[in-house]
Amino acid sequence: MSKPLSSLADLWPTQSVELLKALHILTRDGALNQDSRRKLKQVQHLVQLVTPQLSNMKTIADLGAGKSYLGFMLYDLWMREKSDTHLWAIEQRPELVATCRRLALDSGFNRISFVAQSILEAISSSEVPKEIDAVTALHACDTATDEAIAFALRKKAKVIALVPCCQAEVARLLPSLPSESTRELKSLWSHNLHRREFGSHLTNVIRSLFLESRGYKVRVTELIGWEHSMKNELIVAERVDRPNTQARRYFDEFMARFPLPMKLFDLVPPADEP
């Protein structure tokens, strides 16, 4: 049952009610059900967490944009007054891109470009700049988060904000680890439930260490309360230096213990390559 928003308590003071209705987060009469409220809170909180890092950013790419909740709300809450900013929303489903283009036109959001391509296609696309200041990916499923990392590194992103989702790749790979791995180590994933949970955790640990080895300062935190989403891990990486030799050494040592042929390593060249 929908919960009326008589006081609009869930909205930020400057947030557009009409935009949220167009995104079907609010109903026509301004009501909000529990599913929509969770969605609203997730995006609001992500905007709140990343905008401090975006203060000097002019170009942003939102990858696996879907219905572009994040892109539209980022524009509404942050980009609206920043006339030198532009956002590229990358989404491979053309029907969603067409819908978003119409909504952007109706809303007067003329600094969002919608690109009907996959994340990997967009890396070399003429529709996307060669360099992008900031990259976001909200709930990019399984290895799509690795594609987002590859995109960000190729585009020399200064800021990367990732909320991974449905990490299944490493869980599938764990049973194939070399037989010399210790029994105690393999106990971490001997049961299916543990393998899924440990694989998900290990995936994001590897991603974080990998980004550190590429010269990023990484912060990992909860996106929002668990009552709003179980897919709740936020990885924020800020580029601070050239590839970090010490971090690279530690990453190599870690991967020697977990020699997993992840898609990430096929997508991104070694640190000493362009």
Min mean pLDDT across 39-48, 87-96, 246-255 is at 39-48
pLDDT for 224:
64
Mean of pLDDT over the chain: 87
Distances (CA, A) of 142 to 55, 69, 78, 164, 227: 29, 20, 29, 7, 22
pLDDT in tens, 112-127: 999 999 999 999 999 9
Q: Is the pLDDT of residue 15 over 90?
A: no
Inform me whether the pLDDT recorded for 145 exceeds 50. Answer: yes
What's the whole-number mean pLDDT along residues 149-166? 94
The three-state secondary structure class of 127 is: coil
pLDDT at 7 over 50: no
Q: Which of 103-117, 119-133, 201-215, 257-271 has the lowest mean pLDDT?
A: 257-271
In total, the chain counts a number of residues equal to: 274
> How wide is the angle at C-alpha 237 spanned by C-alphas 168 and 41, nearest 5°?
70
Tell me the pLDDT band of 201, cut-offs 50, 70 and 90.
very high
How many other C-beta atoms are found inside a 10 Å radius of the C-beta of residue 115? 19
Residue 13 has pLDDT above 80, yes or no: no
Query: Residues 202-231: pLDDT tens digits?
Result: 999 999 999 999 999 999 988 765 554 456
In this prediction, residue 271 carries a pLDDT of 67
The fraction of the chain above a pLDDT of 70, given in percent, is 91
> Which residues contact residue 91 at a Cβ distance below 8 angstroms, ignoring those fewer than 6 apart?
64, 65, 66, 68, 97, 100, 114, 115, 116
Of 92-96, 197-201, 243-247, least confident by mean pLDDT is: 243-247
CA separation for the pair 196, 187 (Å, rounded): 13
Q: Is residue 9 exposed (0-12), middle (13-18) or buried (19+ Cβ within 10 Å)?
A: exposed
Q: What is the pLDDT of residue 165?
A: 85
Separation of alpha carbons 160 and 170, rounded Å: 22
- What average pLDDT score do residues 250-262 get? 92
Where in the chain are the domains? 3-267
Res. 176 pLDDT band, cuts 50 70 90: confident
User: Which three-class secondary structure string do you get for 133-178?
Assistant: CEEEEEEEECCHHHHHHHHHHHCCCCEEEEEEECCCHHHHHHHHCC
Report the CATH superfamily, name and number, of domain 3-267: Vaccinia Virus protein VP39 (3.40.50.150)
Q: Tell me the average pLDDT across 84-113.
A: 96
pLDDT of residue 67: 92
Q: pLDDT digit string (tens) for 234-251?
A: 999 999 977 788 999 999
Report how far residue 242's alpha carbon sits from residue 153's, in angstroms, rounded to the nearest whole number: 12
Judged on CB neighbours under 10 Å (0-12, 13-18, 19+), 4 is: exposed
- What pLDDT is recorded for position 229? 47
pLDDT at residue 273, rounded to an integer: 47
Between 5-9, 10-14, 35-39, 222-226, the lowest mean confidence (pLDDT) is in 5-9
Angle, helices 192-213/144-154, rounded to nearest 10 degrees: 0
